[in-house]
Amino acid sequence: MARIMIVEDEDVIRLALRRLLEHNGYAVDVATSVKEALASQQVNNYDLIISDLRLPGANGTDIINKTESPVLIMTSYASLKSAVDTMKMGAIDYIAKPFDHDEMLETVARIIQTNSENNPPHKTGTNRQGKAVANANGMIGNCQAIRQVYERIERVAPTNATVLIHGETGTGKELVARAIHAQSDRAGKAIVCVNCAAIPETLIESELFGYEKGAFTGANSNRIGLIEAADGGTLFLDEIGELPLEAQARLLRFIQEDEIRRIGAVESSKVNVRLICATHRNLKEMAHAGHFREDLYYRINVMKLELPPLRERGKDILEIAETMLRSRCEAMGKPAMHFSPKTIQAITTYVWPGNIRELENAVERAVILCDGDEIDNELLDIDLELVDINQIRGRQADPASRQTRDANKKDTGRNKTSAGRTADPSEDLSLEDYFQHFVLEHQDSMSETELAQKLGVSRKCLWERRQRLGIPRKKASTRSGS
């Protein structure tokens, strides 16, 4: 049974969260402050510590450096920038208030599963080394999917195995190829990168294999191909799914025999080249449809690395964006800039169909247009109206998390039926019930601004939660700020 400690000073949230977690099979301890948590609990013996950001005496972030357990920080949308800072200080994740059962359970399950399955003690050094090499080659992030990529890089790089990198356009496939090359024993030799889609079909074979003088009109001298140029090193064929069938046949012989024959030549010559391929297409389906040689597919699909799209990389998105921001500011000779809270929210909720490449362009455009030191959401020029946050969360959740969410919908429904009654904090009150209870009780005496401040959320978040829960706003109120 996983052990969790909650550090929260507000009684209603602390008791409701404790019951929620205990009802779902977790062993839970509680504390009302960082001092109490450190004094009365063995903070290194927990699978997860959930702490509020703002606590009496010391902020929740103070516990991060005093424990080896992962720390999940709870915060409001109004202090989203502070939440980002907590990630830099070592928090495993943050979750915005107010949250419901599904959101909390999904986050807790993901963190505990990730730490237990993907970071066993005997892999720690390997993951760290693989991540260091990947970072040195421009790869950024620490989400579960990208950590698996780091591990695969660490394992496959020292070998001569052919690697197939699959991922959507703009996910950083060339960076992965360079990281593999840099960690191999061929690192001292060249890596030759070829975009198969960028070379005309009539020239692809001569570009790859070279040609002899007089082989065709215009061949006025001998020329080595890109495969020969990579001799002793690595050849990276990007978008290999665009390679013509004729060139695929010649490439297959190169893979099988480690030799090539220039166009117009009689003799073949041996080469020693490590092959890495990449594509955004489904090569298996293309092979079945006759658009890609099936024998070539099985030859290059020795070790497959799957790159996640940017929309599924969670908090990595912001880390990547901030790294790009620093880089663009330095390259353009501009003073250091930072993202506004609204911009941070936009970056982390937008689906990024163009992935890292689209994000890079958006950041660069914003740096060019920004006159001050804070980048506003409008400068990104992304269409947030296309975003359905619930759909995004559904895509990001793994099957286990979705099952957890579905299993708890009945409990959530039962809790909602009691939302209209006046409840004592000691009763089994859900976090969503608490929100409804507080708004209904105080909306006649408080303005919208005051309600939002007491709940620790923005006015926009308060309005959205009203709409979702069907709590009408009192139109008769004339208080300022309402």
Question: What is the predicted pLDDT for the residue at 92?
Answer: 81
Domain-embedded: residue 435: no
Query: Is 16 in the same domain as 127?
Result: no
- The confidence score (pLDDT) of residue 326 equals 92
Domain-ending residue, one of 391, 425, 459: 391
| CATH code of residue 77 | 3.40.50.2300
Domain boundary among 391, 417, 447: 391
Looking at the fold, whether 129 and 111 belong to one and the same domain comes out as no
The answer to the question of residue 402 being in a domain is no
Residue 124's SS3 state is helix
Pairing of strands 71-76, 48-52: parallel
CA distances from 31 to 15, 42, 64 (A): 11, 12, 15
Q: CA–CA distance from 234 to each of 30, 219, 426 (Å)?
A: 55, 27, 65
The CATH number that applies at residue 264 is 3.40.50.300
Return the pLDDT at 405.
40
Q: Which residues pair with 133 in a beta bridge?
A: none
Looking at the structure, do residues 282 and 387 belong to the same domain, yes or no? no
The first and second tokens of residue 347, run together, are 């970056």
CA distances from 30 to 130, 266, 312, 432, 444 (A): 37, 79, 32, 20, 33
In Å, what is the CA distance from 84 to each residue of 110, 266, 459? 19, 63, 20
Q: How many separate domains does the chain show?
A: 3
What is the span of the domain harbouring residue 378?
313-391
173 and 199 housed in the same domain: yes
Decide if 348 contacts 316 (C-beta within 8 A): no
- Split the chain (482 residues) into runs of 10 and give each run's mean pLDDT: 89 88 91 86 84 86 84 70 65 77 86 68 45 63 86 92 95 94 93 92 88 83 90 95 91 91 88 96 94 94 94 86 92 92 83 92 94 90 55 39 40 39 40 71 81 70 74 55 42
CATH number at residue 354: 1.10.8.60
Same domain, 80 and 51: yes
For residue 213, give the 3-state DSSP assignment.
Answer: coil
- Cβ–Cβ under 8 Å, residues 188 and 180: no
DSSP for 250-300 reads HHHHHHHHSEE--BT-SS-EE---EEEEEESS-HHHHHHTTSS-HHHHHHH
Question: 337 and 284 share a domain?
Answer: no
CA distance linking residue 360 with residue 365, whole number of Å: 9
Per-residue pLDDT, 423:
38
In a domain, 447, yes or no: no
Predicted pLDDT at 174: 94
Residue 61 domain flag: yes
| CA pseudo-torsion sign 439, 440, 441, 447 | positive
Could you tell me if 81 and 191 lie in one domain?
A: no
In a domain, 417, yes or no: no
257 token code pair: 């025999």
Angle made by CA atoms 114, 116, 122, in degrees to the nearest 5: 115
DSSP 337: -
Whether residue 385 sits in one domain with residue 286: no
Q: What does the pLDDT read at residue 437?
A: 74
Q: What is the pLDDT, as a whole number, of residue 131?
A: 52
Residue 67 resides in a domain: yes
Phi, psi angles (nearest 5°) of residue 28: -125, 135
- Give the H/E segment covering residue 384: none
- Report how far residue 421's alpha carbon sits from residue 323's, in angstroms, rounded to the nearest whole number: 49
Residue at 476 is within a domain: no
Q: Are residues 195 and 269 in the same domain?
A: yes
Residue 347 and residue 211 in one domain: no
Q: What is the C-alpha to C-alpha distance for residues 324 and 385, in angstroms, rounded to an integer?
A: 24
Report d(CA 329, CA 457) in Å as an integer. 32
18/41 same-domain check:
yes
Of 301, 278, 305, 277, the residue nearest 149 (C-alpha): 305
419 closest CA partner among 408, 403, 410, 430: 430
Report the side by side order of strands in the sheet with 234-238: 191-195, 234-238, 274-279, 163-166, 303-306
Among 243, 277, 306, the domain-final residue is 306
The secondary structure element, H or E, covering residue 48 is strand 48-52
- Distance (Å, rounded) from C-alpha 299 to C-alpha 294? 9
Q: What is the pLDDT of residue 474?
A: 62
Where do the DSSP E strands lie in 271-394?
A: 274-279, 303-306, 338-339, 374-375
Residues 87 and 214 in one domain: no
Predicted model pTM: 0.60
Q: 440 lies in a domain?
A: no
| Sheet strands (E) in 77-190 | 93-97, 163-166
Tell me, what's the pLDDT at 61? 83
